[in-house]
């Protein structure tokens, strides 16, 4: 890792500026060889220097060069950033010259990898860098920033410190039971700490699962009989500036007729016309397909026509989703009502009229409330950011449960210690306290070159 690397850090194309980034012990010397302006080896750190990149015969481009000396840099190595005009030719030429002058072309994510290996950030922060770059909604940006700022890292570190303290106490008691002056730790103390930690970890897992749904897009289906107003509701969502149309299938009555993304919520439409109990094999396959979409949805919105009595089809659907915490929409509330909120026992019921947009805001608020969407922006909660972290946290919780079980079964305390040590190590994998080269390769391969 002692060599010097170079990459284009901006998107290659026509733009105002491009940035070519160099990191490593030789970065200042290498760029200085090509720079016409001040002697870069003598300028103060964290300065921007005006001049030209010159290939030894002629000027290539007019540039601004940032000099940032270790250790106060992203990689904790000397970093030089060349800001040139944002065209393909000058950018590639400068990259080529810096490469020829002695810097190796960087691999994807190698700058961030170095930041991790040099202790500038932990793995949760490295993953957050990628999440910020890839975030398409404000909620995701906000979650990623929280991790980048070290909230998750601090949470895990504090958690591990508590375990370390407990382990140290257990060890002292095992090794030197005869020492009177050592504060004796009772089984009750151990049990209480383990239970507290388990509750804490379960809390983190639960709220993170919810966050991951939001991060990946809340898969929402709007279901109901034909003509109750599903498309009209979807269209009112579409009128929002922020809604992005990803796939509108048109007028055919396909299973999924439309899909939009709204503030992190992915909405799809399903008509329940075909969803009913049947013995017909072909029809059965169609019904099962629709039902599996319902099974896989994160959120179900059932639309009913409030000006008509419930039909058997409505009842069949309501029964299918009754345990899925659906939102019931009583649409067409401008007409004489045959259905009322009081007729239902569901927790989330809104009344709408898509002709005048009444109630649509309440529907959005209901969705936001169910997934705490506003809370993400307002509160500084800590969340696990991906499946890798979630699986490790679940594993750690399992180990804690093992320890708790052993404790209740009067297992010798040194066996319990083994389980607790496993919790400590597993959580360390989340932050990258212990890691394998394979894991790093896997993590950084999806990064862009230059990050």
C-alpha to C-alpha distance for 238 and 114, rounded to whole angstroms: 43
Binding segment for ligand GDP (CB under 6 A), chosen from 51-59, 67-75, 328-336, 442-450, is 328-336
Task: Count residues binding ligand GDP (CB under 6 A).
Answer: 15
Least Å distance, CB 297 to ligand GDP, is: 17
Please identify which residue in 96, 107, 334, 425 interacts with ligand GDP, judged by CB under 6 A. 334
- Kindly tell me which of 58 and 336 has the beta carbon lying closer to ligand GDP: 336
Least Å distance, CB 361 to ligand GDP, is: 14
- Kindly tell me which of 54 and 355 has the beta carbon lying closer to ligand GDP: 355
Binding segment for ligand GDP (CB under 6 A), chosen from 124-132, 171-179, 352-360, 370-378, is 352-360
Least Å distance, CB 229 to ligand GDP, is: 3
Distances in whole angstroms, Cα of residue 386 to Cα of each of 85, 131, 399: 37, 10, 20
Least Å distance, CB 219 to ligand GDP, is: 19
Please identify which residue in 60, 67, 228, 363 interacts with ligand GDP, judged by CB under 6 A. 228
- Kindly tell me which of 79 and 350 has the beta carbon lying closer to ligand GDP: 350
Least Å distance, CB 160 to ligand GDP, is: 53
Please identify which residue in 90, 109, 229, 264 interacts with ligand GDP, judged by CB under 6 A. 229
Least Å distance, CB 305 to ligand GDP, is: 8
C-alpha to C-alpha distance for 448 and 9, rounded to whole angstroms: 8
- Kindly tell me which of 166 and 327 has the beta carbon lying closer to ligand GDP: 327
Q: Does 224 bind ligand GDP (CB under 6 A)?
A: yes
Residue 254 C-alpha from the chain's centroid: 32
Closest CA to 411 of 257, 190, 219: 190
Binding segment for ligand GDP (CB under 6 A), chosen from 50-58, 90-98, 317-325, 351-359, is 351-359
- Kindly tell me which of 43 and 337 has the beta carbon lying closer to ligand GDP: 337
Residue 238 C-alpha from the chain's centroid: 25
Helices 138-148 and 123-134, axial angle in degrees (round to 10):
160
Least Å distance, CB 253 to ligand GDP, is: 9
Please identify which residue in 332, 364, 397, 451 interacts with ligand GDP, judged by CB under 6 A. 332
Q: Does 227 bind ligand GDP (CB under 6 A)?
A: yes
- Kindly tell me which of 198 and 332 has the beta carbon lying closer to ligand GDP: 332
Please identify which residue in 89, 133, 182, 335 interacts with ligand GDP, judged by CB under 6 A. 335
Q: Does 426 bind ligand GDP (CB under 6 A)?
A: no
One symbol per residue from 230 to 269: x for binding ligand GDP (CB under 6 A), - otherwise; what is it? xxx-------------------------------------
Q: Does 133 bind ligand GDP (CB under 6 A)?
A: no
Binding segment for ligand GDP (CB under 6 A), chosen from 176-184, 288-296, 348-356, 369-377, is 348-356
Q: Does 451 bind ligand GDP (CB under 6 A)?
A: no
Please identify which residue in 147, 353, 382, 386 interacts with ligand GDP, judged by CB under 6 A. 353
C-alpha to C-alpha distance for 105 and 110, rounded to whole angstroms: 10
CB 164 within 8 A of CB 394: no
Closest CA to 360 of 396, 337, 329: 329
**For residue 289, how many other CB atoms are within 10 A of its CB?**
13
Residues engaged in binding ligand GDP (CB under 6 A): 224, 226-232, 331-332, 334-335, 353-355
């Amino acid at each position: 890792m002692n060599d010097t690397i170079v990459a284009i850090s901006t998107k290659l194309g026509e733009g105002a500026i491009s940035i070519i980034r160099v990191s490593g012990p030789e970065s200042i010397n290498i760029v200085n060889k090509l720079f016409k302006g001040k002697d870069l080896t003598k300028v103060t750190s964290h300065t921007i220097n005006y001049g030209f990149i010159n290939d030894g015969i002629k000027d290539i481009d007019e540039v601004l060069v940032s000099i940032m000396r270790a250790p106060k840099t992203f990689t904790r190595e000397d970093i030089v950033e060349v800001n040139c005009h944002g065209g393909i030719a000058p950018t590639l030429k400068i990259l080529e010259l810096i490469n020829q002058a002695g810097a190796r072309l960087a691999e994807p994510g190698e700058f961030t990898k170095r930041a991790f290996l040099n202790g500038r950030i932990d793995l949760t922060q490295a993953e957050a860098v990628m999440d910020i770059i890839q975030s398409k909604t404000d909620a995701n940006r906000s979650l990623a920033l929280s991790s980048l700022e070290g909230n998750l890292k601090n949470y895990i570190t504090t958690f591990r410190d508590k375990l370390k303290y407990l382990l140290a106490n257990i060890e002292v008691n095992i090794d030197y039971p005869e020492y009177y002056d050592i504060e004796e730790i009772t089984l009750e103390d151990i049990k209480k700490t383990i239970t507290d930690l388990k509750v804490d970890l379960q809390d983190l897992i639960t709220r993170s699962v919810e966050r991951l749904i939001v991060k990946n897009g809340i898969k929402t289906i709007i279901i109901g009989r034909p003509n109750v107003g599903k498309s009209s509701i979807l269209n009112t969502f579409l009128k929002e500036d922020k809604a992005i149309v990803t796939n509108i299938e048109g007028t055919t009555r396909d299973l999924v007729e439309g899909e939009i993304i709204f503030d992190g919520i992915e909405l799809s439409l399903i008509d329940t016309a075909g969803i009913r109990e049947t013995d017909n094999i072909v029809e059965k396959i169609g019904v099962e397909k629709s039902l599996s979409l319902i099974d896989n949805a994160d959120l179900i919105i059932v639309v009913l026509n409030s000006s008509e009595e419930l039909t058997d089809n409505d009842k069949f659907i309501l029964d299918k989703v009754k345990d899925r915490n659906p939102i019931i929409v009583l649409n067409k509330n401008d007409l004489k009502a045959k259905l009322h909120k009081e007729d239902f026992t569901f927790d989330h019921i809104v009344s709408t009229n898509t002709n005048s947009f009444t109630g649509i805001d309440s529907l959005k608020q209901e969705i936001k409330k169910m997934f705490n969407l506003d809370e993400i922006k307002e509160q500084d909660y800590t969340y696990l950011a991906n499946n890798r972290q979630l699986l490790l946290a679940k594993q750690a919780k399992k180990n804690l449960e093992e320890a708790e079980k052993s404790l209740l079964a009067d297992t010798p305390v040194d066996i319990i210690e083994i389980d607790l040590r496993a919790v400590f190590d597993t959580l360390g994998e989340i932050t990258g306290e212990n890691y394998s080269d394979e894991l790093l390769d896997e993590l950084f391969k999806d990064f862009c070159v230059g990050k």
